Chains A and B, each alone.
Chain A
Amino acid sequence: MNIQRINARGIWSIYRFEMHRFKRTLWTGLAVPVITTSLYFVVFGTAIGSRMTEINGIDYGSFIVPGLMMLSLFNESIFNASFGIHMPRFTGTIYELLSAPLSAFETVLGFVGAAATKATIVALVILLTANLFVDVRVEHPFLMFAYLVLVAVTFCLFGFIIGIWAKGFEQLQIIPLLIVTPLTFLGGAFYSIDMLPEPWRTITLFNPVVYLINGFRWTFFGTADVAVGISLAATAAFLLACLVAIWWIFRTGYRLKA
């Protein structure tokens, strides 16, 4: 094969290696989202939903589904991608990746591709689980899927950066726990930001996660708190920022090479 231009087999090898790693923990990997989703439905859907029947004309149970999917998608993407690249750094097997005829782009494609695949699958499993509790209608299924993949890729890139930046396994958890999860809860995953009083509503508009969740919610219901174009632009901006950071990491060998 000609690897002068692109080492497709190399990318595929990394992708398969990572998918194989996920397969080893397939059952816990799928049981966790199913159980968590069910719990959310018991707590939010049943307990709270019985008091708050509708948001913007959407049944509350259905309303939280996109938020639940996004919450899991963020965490899965960051966790899978950061762990995927952190592990070889930790065990030292990264020597093989660095000595292989692979470009930075190809290496990232293999890792991020696999992590995004898994995160997307988990999000879809959540959608299926949610369907056991409520009737979820998806107005734009193709756009929904495309948006899912786009956000998964973006957060996997972000996770990849964390995996390279982190000095230890505990640092892998810091950003998801301290930044992403709070921003998600405050970003209208389980409510409409229109329900907030001022100045909280305006403050919330500085939370980037608001745009991600609302863009996704729009693909379900055709309505959202912010315009879908702004959501897409915010997602694209984040994607671009991650790409630039990764380009810089490989150019300088930051925390990859001595």
Chain B
Amino acid sequence: MQSIISIKGIEKTYAGGFRALKGVDLDIRRGEIFALLGPNGAGKTTLISIICGLVNATAGSISVDGHDIVRNYRQARATIGLVPQELHTDAFERVRDTVAFSRGLFGHAPDAALVERILRDLTLWDKRDAQIKELSGGMKRRVMIAKALAHEPRILFLDEPTAGVDVELRRDMWGLVRALRDTGVTIILTTHYIEEAEEMADRVGVINNGELVLVEDTSALMKKLGTKELTVLLAEPLAALPPELADWRLELNADGRELRYVFDRHADRTGIPSLLARLRDLGIAFTDLNTRQSSLEDIFVSLVSDRRPA
């Protein structure tokens, strides 16, 4: 598939000497919704800021729709809309004016009808003549989205769009993101809500300590999510797994006091009844059974904790 953003070997060392990005390679596909996940300070905002021209990279190159972001910055930036993580707005400007201003800044002719449509989509039309300082935090965030959409970008960056946003606005926002994707806009978002990435994104990238540790189709991740785990707490510890249990590929944990069995929850036959029957036949007594389902969160946490520097 053709990539719309191509990131090669991007490194960022901040003035203080802190290495925020350690060689990131990533291709964003045209028309996809890509979710960038990672703990606080992972480097998500830094990466987005470099692509959008707010931060200079220390090394590496990025092209947007074939345009190098440094050499052909005009063409590269013209297609990008950015909604930053922090709320940065003017205070005294009126909502409608500030959106029109953003459109002009990107070199587009005024289009009152378009501005109206964007404001209506974001339920800001009633506030069109209000000064931004009169708006609530959630409304200000919507103003920032409206500003980013004002020049009809083909690529939209949403840096934690749902942080501090109520349930209704969150739902509206996702509706908007889907509608934009349907018109062919590529969307890159960061979030701390894993369900959000799960529900919205075509692909997920996990970044930690300035390194991209995983990029995968959300559906492939969902397959991993499909696994379930059964833990059998034994009454008496076992020294070794009896060969009669080899069919289930079990793990013996906790000094022989636990049997762990991982299975596919979508399979017609989980193998649990037969496993329990076999245990009984072998005279292995157990005191408790636990099942749990792994989530994207688990995968995320295990990836992140595996990579923590010692």
Residues of A within 8 A of B (CB): 1, 3-4, 7-10, 12-14, 16-17, 20-21, 24, 91-93, 95-103, 253, 257-258
Contacts and interface: CB of A to CB of B under 8 A. Distances in A.
Contacts of B88: 91-93, 95-96
Nearest to A258: B55
A96 B102 CA distance: 8
Contact of B97 (A4, A10, A20, A92): A20
Given A10-B107, A258-B55, A101 B77 contact: yes
Nearest to A8: B107
Interface string B199-213: 000000000000000
B269 to A, nearest CB: 55
A16 B80 CA distance: 23
Contacts of A4: 74-75
A8 B54 CA distance: 22
Interface residues of B, number: 33
A258 B56 contact: yes
A16 B147 CA distance: 17
A257 B90 contact: no
Nearest to A102: B105
B109 A99 contact: no
Given A4-B74, A8-B107, A258-B49, 20 more contacts: A3-B78, A3-B106, A9-B104, A10-B107, A13-B105, A91-B89, A93-B88, A93-B89, A95-B52, A95-B82, A96-B88, A96-B102, A98-B52, A99-B53, A99-B77, A100-B77, A101-B73, A101-B78, A103-B74, A258-B55
Interface string B76-98: 01101010101011111100010
A9 B86 contact: no
Contacts of B107: 1, 3, 7-10, 101
Contacts of B106: 3, 7, 10, 100-101
